[in-house]
Structure 1
Amino acid sequence: MSAHILVVDDVEKNVRLLADVLTARGYRTSTAASGEEALARIAADLPDLVLLDVMMPGMNGYDVCRAIRADPACAVLPVVLVTALDPEHERVKGLEAGADDFLSKPIHQAELMARVRSLLRVKALYDEVQRQRAELQAWNLTLEQRVADAVEQLERVGQLKRFFSPQLAQAILAGGADDPLKSHRREITVVFLDLRGFTAFTETADPEEVMAVLGQYHAAMGRLVLAHEGTLERFSGDGMMIFFNDPQPVPDAPVRAVRMAVRMQEEMRHLSGQWLRRGYDLHMGIGIAQGFATIGSIGFEGRIDYGAIGTVTNLAARLCGEAEGGEILLSQRVQAALQEARPEGEWSTQQAGELALKGFQRKVPVWRVVPDS
């Protein structure tokens, strides 16, 4: 777009001459016959440069120049004073009024165009700096918001990682999974585990020793929970509850749960060997059950946990309580799911009879996992 130049002079012939010369050079021009009209035109359509005659009735050029400079929007608007008076005397008064340059009458076209191009070039550079400054300010605001959003996202990821794998936590925040905290019902595979001999151990060991053992135990089991993308419902002391198929459905929840349990018992054998050398006789029992549960947020504002409620969780807990150290006990539905999936080369199962479990009126058929050697 061509630059806009406002020509101000009370003599119509002078105005027409300057406007014609500038228009012929490709500039867009507007005109004013008085200082008051000039200020009104500037307010309505801000030009890129003003050619301003000094001697005019009413407001003279100096008055108009001072009024222009008083407006913050026109602080850098180039103003060229045009005068037929003594240039040296008028230059001082013009500078004091805020003018940028001077032209003496009669005007030479070459000098006029040189001064116009020079001032417009400076104005263009200033406009570009201002544009870049505005962009930088907007970018900084955007960056601040992005940083704030990222911090909030990290905090939410940190909270979700308390229950879910890092991949699932990211998927939930990205909208790749349903809201897990909303109460819902789903079939899940539940894994319970706790330590055998832990009560006797805590009665004789120092608190520091107990915390060190629990730290090793939680770290080892926690790594396997994450590796198999399980959902950690809770852990308290030596007990842990994990479930599969929520909040992200998986097609092989029972197989995945048993595979994790087998790996946990392998890891536990290494830990038990280390602990035994220090005089701690600790082993782990695991119970696995499958069934429907109601799942969602449990708690109150400021302290919310993610939990599953249903018979399946009670069954897994009872099976865990019956399991010997190093043993993995399965419910009938888990056994049936394994038979359908037919995982080969990892383990086999054998019937462990029927158990009378607290909270269940009838005896419960139970299977035992036998790792393949």
Structure 2
Amino acid sequence: MTRLLLLDLGKTGCRAALAEPGGAVVARAEGPGSGGLADRDGVARALAAVDAVLGTLAAPGPAGELRPVAVAAGLAGLATAPGRGAAFAAGLYDRLGADLRVLLTSDMTTWHAGALGGAPGVVLAAGTGTVALAVGPDGATARVDGWGPLLGDDGSGHALGRAGLAAALRAHDGRPGGSPGLLARARDRYGDPDRLPARVHGADNPARAVAAFARDVLAAAADGLPEAVALVARAADDLATTAAAARDRLAPATTGDRTGDRTGDPAGGPDRPVACGGGLLAAGAVLTDPLDAALAARRLTRTAPLGDALDGARLLLEDPTVPHHALLVPLPAVAP
């Protein structure tokens, strides 16, 4: 039976789906991520993550039902280490057959394609980290931020959590600019502030441990705590700045829609949609209201994603006209 295999392999999770060409999704599976293809042993860990979800997909059906004719995968870390794509593809051939059609790109590319239905434009992902990606009709791209917690990710859950903890610890120290309200919430989440460095640095994922406090900052802002309101407003402004920078790094003519809109300068023409997603936005109006205002000031409008990374992977397999084909990692020919 002809099947398409769709993969969304992130750092913390792997999702897979089997679909009939032009038809319904017939099976889905989720499993742990790989940590990123660019990490040490990244290819082996990515293939192990794929093995886990393939085993789940294969379990309910008869033997051989899983075998797809084509696979499209969005891989975390591939943009940083494109040379590892060939080794990952070789692992797929070993598992699924040498006649398999394989398309590989970054997970941000497949999410962009799914979020905008294959159209050019800008997407903004705001979770523990932050990254924006603009794609033009010809496949030209501009990626902004995504530099990680030590170098960037402005406006992210990590940035907001860290800013909130800094305000809490200033209050703990008796320094100006501290927030007793956030200090109380930090105690509730982490315990004794003097033990906070050990709690954070000893965590399996220190960036995520810090980002967890973003929930408390957002809750405090929803309760009207002035210091938290100011921190959320700053995060919203940083996110809007990131989205606008992605738009502006492409020539104005490359950010129109697929129907041929090429009018005006981005700063003075019609508002441009930005598909926004990520766990940080689940906070709701306490964040999205200031984000909408910050985007509007930059002639941008927040829209909900049309689909997800698995939808984007499917578009790559079924629609040769989407500009994201220019972002595929070249793979060597497979010997017959």
Identify which of structures 1 and 2 has the higher relative contact order when contacts are C-alpha pairs closer than 8 Å and 6+ apart: 2
Q: TM-score range by the shorter chain?
A: under 0.3
Bigger radius of gyration among the two: 1
Q: What's the TM-score, normalizing by structure 2?
A: 0.21
Instruction: Name the structure where strand makes up a greater proportion of residues.
Output: 1
Structure 1 length-normalised TM: 0.20
